[in-house]
Structure 1
């Protein structure tokens, strides 16, 4: 299943599955605003913005001049289009850049591993950004602290390039690059976590059959005896600024 088809299949429940907690959302939103130094003068492009929930909040809290949610999965983009304070565009990153739509800040939250021909993408973004314009990548280490089953952790690691690769490519394009690791811990009931796994809330889980997911849940159950699970999310924020 392709990434876009995978997210089309869970579009109606995506916001619920990715809810985590209000504190988690607030944590991520505030760091995005700070890293991108968002203000009312900015035009933000959220690449792979999904259902637009983060794009919409960023627009509201920063009073942005304009906010675009770019999402290749049509069902996800349809959900985003219901939000009246953002502009949802169904398409991929390269297709959007080809439109030459102006922007001042660009966000890639947990999607950079899905973008092909990244070096060409960086070069185009660098050309299009104004002086001191910014790009922010939010990604994860190859080895996540999520309570996944062993095969899921291995699948994630295979699909997740090392963040040092992005840093190197961005510097080669002429960006100033700063990287910060931030961690947030939250607690979910095992029932809720297992529901997320069964719905394959991350695309890396899309390769597993229903039977493999259930086997993986049994593996997790052996390691967690309480009814709740503490989940540590280690996020890498890579901020690139055009000199």
Structure 2
């Protein structure tokens, strides 16, 4: 399996705090059946996180350490880019990495200033030859209250990612409920761990895969955990099912009559 959203590199953002913790995370990931990880360090205008060539050097050094310790996991380059109103205007000048240098760009939306024009953001990014992957959408209150937002951005051409911890209810029942709503309506394309630590927010994947297998189908789980993740690192088109609109329940004759 392939984890396309993880903060495994040591001391580059708010993820792993040390080399030892990064190695522990890699060992957990290996036990979970993960073979490749895209390190998606935060790219945020307000924080001095490592980026550009400095980030690439950290990645190369860590892959060497994994090989020296005979940990058969490969870490690939990427960023989780924090959306701002100036992002698209400045995007050609920024030194961020797409997911394994593909067309796919992982976008984190501001939780306290959630954009009202998500579809326009998708269109503008696609005009610049990027395919936006919206990260951990189940965490946003606006999505929890109105999943139709996700239907609309998928129709516009976005890819939707949710976290494995959320699927399992480890981040709260509301996030798990939102994940189930989105999965059942074909409005999820990718699952990632969004792992930050070796003791909490760990790279747990296998249990979430089994959960989707049992609750939905093995075909669904394979698409969300394996096939689409593999397509991203190879810069290929994803398998995207037609999303389902919410069914509006019609009121019966007597209910309408008594309401009158």
Larger Cα-atom Rg = 2
> Normalization by structure 2: what TM-score?
0.33
> Normalization by structure 1: what TM-score?
0.34
